[in-house]
Amino acid sequence: MKIRLPSALAFLLLTGCSATPLVGISTDVKEIDENEAKSCTFVQSFIVKTENPLAKNPDNDVKNIAMNRTDVLGGNAFLVKNEAFLPSPLNVGTVIELTGDAYRCP
């Protein structure tokens, strides 16, 4: 009898330790607090989720995704408004959903 893994599960097992890479100039994007946001221009709110529930450091993974999204929106800083920990679709690992605001800071 041949055992077959669903492709999503196989993908998760093969990429379990990888983190979302920063792209473009996203390395210049920084996380700010509410006081720092006061001296910046609001760009747009966003919601992002981790792509890999088995990542070694899902909190770092979701922050990288937020940095990439902020960069795409034209910002250079983001403020975390909320982080929610959700069960993954396959009930393996955790998905983090981050709600944030992108800003353009001097």
Q: Give the angle subtended at the CA of 73 by the CAs of 49 and 48, to the nearest 5°.
A: 5
Domain 27-104 has CATH 3.30.1660.10: yes
Instruction: Work out the end-to-end distance of the chain between its first and last CA atoms, rounded to an integer number of angstroms.
Output: 63
Place of tokens 């990542």: 55
| Structure tokens belonging to residue 27 | 């390395």
Q: What is the CA radius of gyration of the chain?
A: 16
Q: pLDDT for 28-72, tens place per residue?
A: 999 999 999 999 999 999 999 998 888 888 889 999 999 999 999
- Tell me the pTM: 0.75
* pLDDT of 12 strictly over 80: no
Number of Cβ within a 10 Å radius of residue 92:
14
Tokens 């669903």, residue located: 6
